[in-house]
Amino acid sequence: MSEEKIELIIQKDNIGEFIGSKGYNLKKYIIGNTKQEIIKQNKDEDLSKIFCSIECTNENNIFATIKAQNDIYLDILKKNVLKHQEIFMKKKNVNYNSKFVFKTSMDHYMIPKFIGSRGNNIKTMIRNITEKDTDSSNVKISIIEDRKIHMRNLHFEKINTNDQPGEKVLIIVTMKSNNRKQSLENLREIIIEAIEKTNKKNHTNTFVPPDEPIQNSPFLNPNDFMEHDNVTFTPEINENDTQNNEGW
């Protein structure tokens, strides 16, 4: 039995519509299409083990858990999950076109300090971003413990600290921006300030400016970060783009 967990880019509020009433969309567009494709290859195949479920973590990240008899069938199932997501997002006219992920050292018990009581620190960061960056809107910020993520349709970079403990976190920012390059510069400054403030409360870390070039996902064209009017962004679907960001 083969199994995989796929991180999706849909929002928490979209899960019900993505799944459909009584799971109709999953059954028809993901499970159903997968079974039809397998039957074309092997009419006698037992398809009862084809499985897909959607879950939301405490950090509001959405995952699809898929299972199949073997890796070949699992790849077909994964392809249909991503295809359904691509069509769904186009129909929803996704409310952000830019995603930035910052990896830094932070003790995990300090995450609530970063968020603030009732999310006040996050709200302050969002307000500061929108005030400083007039080209951005629909800003959302989340922070999670470090883990594998899909390096698809995003900008990724590492923010260093003097004393780097073993624990790492990912700070994820999504927004709608008409000038990604300028938005990134404004955003980076505010994120660094928030990391410094949090780590000072821990009395362990001090921010050190990055000593290496910014790392961009290979799935983003650097020209996309140039200033454009009416920038639009269509997520690209590639089922072989999972990258482990650990080990730095």
- 214 vs 84, more confident: 84
Mean pLDDT of the region 118-144: 90
Q: Is the pLDDT of residue 163 over 80?
A: no
Distance of alpha carbon 63 from alpha carbon 76, whole angstroms: 17
What is the 8-class DSSP label of residue 154?
S
Mean pLDDT of the region 185-193: 92
pLDDT for the residue 41: 87
To which H or E segment does residue 19 belong?
helix 15-19
Query: Among candidates 170, 182, 186, which has minimal Cα distance to 243?
Result: 170
pLDDT for the residue 210: 52
pLDDT for the residue 97: 79
Distance of alpha carbon 39 from alpha carbon 33, whole angstroms: 10
C-alpha 121: how far from chain center: 21
Instruction: For residue 246, name the pLDDT band (cuts at 50, 70, 90).
Output: very low
Q: Is-contact 196 163, C-beta < 8 A?
A: no
Q: Is the pLDDT of residue 214 over 70?
A: no
Instruction: For residue 93, name the pLDDT band (cuts at 50, 70, 90).
Output: low
Read off the pLDDT of residues 19-66 as tens digits, 9 standing for 90 and up. Answer: 999 999 999 999 999 999 999 988 888 899 999 999 998 777 899 999
Q: Is the pLDDT of residue 76 over 90?
A: yes
User: How many helices (H) and strands (E) in the chain?
Assistant: 7, 9
- 9 vs 238, more confident: 9
What is the 8-class DSSP label of residue 229?
S
List of domains in the chain? 2-92 (3.30.1370.10), 98-243 (no CATH)
Q: Is the pLDDT of residue 242 over 60?
A: no
Q: Is the pLDDT of residue 201 over 90?
A: no
Any idea which of 38-52, 70-84, 154-168, 175-189 has the lowest mean pLDDT?
Answer: 154-168
Q: Is the pLDDT of residue 3 over 90?
A: yes
Contacts 24+ apart (CB under 8 A), 243-248: 243/148, 243/149, 243/150, 243/151, 244/148, 245/103, 245/146, 245/148, 245/149, 245/151, 245/156, 245/170, 246/146, 246/148, 246/168, 248/103, 248/158
pLDDT for the residue 89: 84
